[in-house]
Every structure is written in C-alpha cells, then in structure tokens.
Structure 1
Amino acid sequence: MNELPEPEWRVSPGLIPYDAALTEMEARAAAIVAHEAREQIWLLEHPPVYTAGTSADPAELVDPRFPVMPAGRGGRYTYHGPGQRVGYLMLDLNERGRDVRCFVHGVEGWVIAALARLGLEAFRAPGRVGIWTLDHDGREAKIGAIGVRVRRWVTLHGFSVNVSPDLSHFGGIVPCGLPDYPVTSLAALGRSTTLGAFDDALAATRADFLQTLSCPAENES
C-alpha cells in the first residue's frame, strides 16, 4: 500500500448545528469518493440534540426535550451537546483497507489511547460498541459512543466523547439502547480538562490510529 497523505485535521470553534454538519460531512465524503478532496478528521461541538441511528427504537426516546434528528449512521439514540467532543471521520477505506470491523476497532483504540494520555483508563466491552470506563462506584460506564456509516468505502460519522457535558441531558433517551449502564464524563470522574487538551491527546495518537487501519480486508462485500 502506498503511503497516503495525512488527512486534513480540522477543529471548529463554537457550536455547529447538527444538520449543517451532516450536510457538510456528506459533501466532503462525496468529494473524497470522486477524488476531489483529501480525507478529513473534523472535531466539533453541537448544540443540544438527540440523534437517531438506523436502529433507533422510538420507545427509547423517553423525554425529547431537545430536537431529534435522523443521523443516517448505525446505532440507536444518542445525545450531542456542549462539552462533548464529536469527531467526524471521512476516511477512504479503499486506500486504507476495506474492513469496517477493523475501522471501528481502530477508532475505539484511538479514543482509549487519547484518554490514557489524560490519565483515564478506558476499555472496550465485549458485545457493546463504544468506549467504557469505571465510575466512582466501580460500575462500567460509557464515556464515548461510536456510530459510523460507510458509503462507497468512504467513512462518515465517527465518535463522541464526554469531556464535560451536562450528563442530565442523556436522561431524555436510553443512550445507545443500553438502560443498564450509566453514562459518565471526564469531568464527572474528576479529570478536569478541556476540549483542547483532549484534541491534543487525539492528535498525539492519530498516527498510530491511522496505522491500525491497514488490516487485511476480510469482509469485503
């Protein structure tokens, strides 16, 4: 495999409306498919919004106190809002390896490595996509969500990590369809940090993440 150019690294200040971000993300992915644009890793925040993945169950929308938007990604309901870092990944798996499972595993590993740089031990949980850690009571708690879509082998959507959001806002949904597990954040766990510090941790571990995507393509279809 030839060495690929680094994806564009973009960090947007302020709160980006969810529908506007989706439109821009999809346009960029289409341009990558057409070989008219570089890959991109886009870090941003949204105003409070509930997003519905392709497997969303209306019964899990228990208190729609914020707008509810269809996302087009896999998964169920999740929440985005201030204090949460969202990362949209527009990467070309035609060039990096056509293996969606490898891609999701790589995203999980990247976020886990970034959190480790901030002093938080996080982990994968068998059968539960996302990023997990232990809360103050020793319970497994979700600190990051992953939802992706792949179109013509270019990825869309990505991850969200709770740095310092208002965790009560998750109470309007059953987050990711997992009622038995709490949601937590770096702030709730006593790790006082900023979105910028988390971005720096992501940047420091980015090269290793991109390297992991060169998995053998076992599931091409």
Structure 2
Amino acid sequence: MTAPPSTHPLEWIVAEGRTPYAEALSAMEDHVAAIRAGTAAERVWLVEHDPTYTAGTSARPEDLHDARFPVFAAGRGGQWTYHGPGQRTGYVMLDLNRPHGGVPPRDVRAYVHGLEDWLIRALDRFNVTAERREGRVGLWVANRATGGEDKIAAIGVRVTRWVTWHGVALNVDPDLSHFGGIVPCGISAHGVTSLHAQGILATMEEADAALASAWGEVFG
C-alpha cells in the first residue's frame, strides 16, 4: 500500500559558504530520522564543501593514490569521490514509501534513474548533453579532444528504512586536478570534466537555478 502524501512540503535549501563534510553527514542522519518519524519535511540540500575525499561502501584502498585532502567514510554506495569548491553537491532526502512524480514507491533503481534524469535535464539547460553509460556510474559528456568521454556528475546514494540520503555532485568549476588523488568511482579509463571545462561559464547560482527548474519535471 502506498503511504499517504506527506503533510510537510519539500524543503529546498541552498547552504551559504562551505559546509564541513562531517557536519553534513551528521545533519543528514538527523534529518533522515526526523523524516522517518514524520516530524520533518523531505529536503533537497545544496552545499559546497572544502576539498575532501569520501569513500563509499565499495571503495578500494588502492584507489586512494594521494590523501592530500581529508578522507571520510561516507556510508553511501559507490567508491571514491571528490568534493570541493566549485562543485555543487545535492543531498536528497526523500521518503520512498511515497511516489515522487514518475518515481514509484520503494523502487531504489527508479529513484537513481530519477536522479540521473534530473541532472540530464539540468545540464540540457546549458546545452550540455550528458548521458548514462552501462557499467559506469554517473553522467558522461563527450571529450572532443580525445574522442573519449569524461564524467561531469557523480551519483552516490544511501537508503535507510526507505528514506534516501546523500545524492549527486555536479562539477560546475572545481579544480579538476584535485581528482588526481583518487580513482573517481573506480573508473580510471575516463576523465573528469566540468561545465567550465566544457566552455559553459555558468555561476553556481545559475547551476542551482537549473537544478531547481528541472526538479519538478522528474520528481513532481
């Protein structure tokens, strides 16, 4: 049976400045518990972190080449990820007991597909074509110089008693050399890119606006 609609409207929060990663983990955990208890609204929380490497539950120690930045066990799915200035991290806390737009209840695969759609639609607003690739996590764009593909956005989620946390990371204008300390998401055969590296000199505010306008097209 599908849960009744939440009585709390979705919260859309853009954090000012930079949010310490440990603080974000603690805040997400507390908010997810409150959503489960029915005392808090679902939330999309957009943050920016100081340079940080995070390890998902499948991260391999050998894929951390250079621990030049603080390292955290994230508790999400996936492998190694970098967060830092110029990257918009979106923490999505939804109750999957309920449907969200075209995403049916209690379907984690459909939820992840929805996150991908959200990012694809947001990037399309900048005329950037991002695509999924079988066997590769994240979203990919063509690298015209090499003929290959580079990752422009990462996805890593956790679901606790059907409430989601963690989420997505969109590269707006991070220092791409910072990814060199890890094998991002365990994939060494492809590079990493950003909107600015693609020639799209978008501001973080413009990226946020694209994410906000694309949200309802996927999650209702």
Same fold (TM over 0.5): yes
Q: Which position in structure 2 is the counterpart of 1:117?
A: 125
Partner-residue secondary structure (3-state), 2:198: coil
Q: Are residues 1:166 and 2:169 paired?
A: no
What amino acid is the match of 2:63? Answer: E
What amino acid is the match of 1:101? Answer: R
Q: Which position in structure 2 is the counterpart of 1:219?
A: none
Q: Are residues 1:177 and 2:180 paired?
A: no
1:136 CA drift (Å): 3.1
Given that 1:74 and 1:149 are in contact with CA atoms closer than 8 Å, whether structure 2 keeps it comes out as: yes
1:3 CA drift (Å): 5.2
TM-score by length of 1: 0.93
Alignment RMSD, CA only? 1.1
Given that 1:136 and 1:189 are in contact with CA atoms closer than 8 Å, whether structure 2 keeps it comes out as: no
CA displacement, residues 2-53 of structure 1 (integer Å, 9 cap, x when unaligned): 5555410000011100000110011001000000100000001000000000
The 5 A counterparts of 1:20-59 are 20-59=23-62
What runs of 5+ residues in structure 1 fail to find an aligned partner?
Answer: 212-221
1:208 CA drift (Å): 1.4
CA distance, structure 1, for counterparts of residue 164 and residue 142 of structure 2? 30
What amino acid is the match of 1:59? Answer: E
What amino acid is the match of 2:217? Answer: D
CA distance, structure 2, for counterparts of residue 123 and residue 162 of structure 1? 15
Q: Which position in structure 2 is the counterpart of 1:215?
A: none
CA distance, structure 1, for counterparts of residue 206 and residue 163 of structure 2? 28
Q: Are residues 1:105 and 2:113 paired?
A: yes
Given that 1:56 and 1:75 are in contact with CA atoms closer than 8 Å, whether structure 2 keeps it comes out as: yes
Runs (4+) of structure 1 moved beyond 3 Å?
1-6
Q: Which position in structure 2 is the counterpart of 1:218?
A: none
Percent identity between the two aligned chains: 55
Q: Which position in structure 2 is the counterpart of 1:148?
A: 157
CA distance, structure 1, for counterparts of residue 81 and residue 67 of structure 2? 12
What amino acid is the match of 1:141? Answer: D
Q: Which position in structure 1 is the counterpart of 2:200?
A: 191
Q: Which position in structure 1 is the counterpart of 2:82?
A: 79
Partner-residue secondary structure (3-state), 1:15: coil
CA displacement, residues 29-80 of structure 1 (integer Å, 9 cap, x when unaligned): 1000000100000001000000000001000000110010010000001100
Among 69, 94, 98, which residue is 1:95 paired with?
A: 98
1:205 CA drift (Å): 1.0
Among 111, 135, 138, which residue is 2:143 paired with?
A: 135
Partner-residue secondary structure (3-state), 2:192: coil
Partner-residue secondary structure (3-state), 2:191: coil
Among 51, 62, 66, which residue is 2:69 paired with?
A: 66
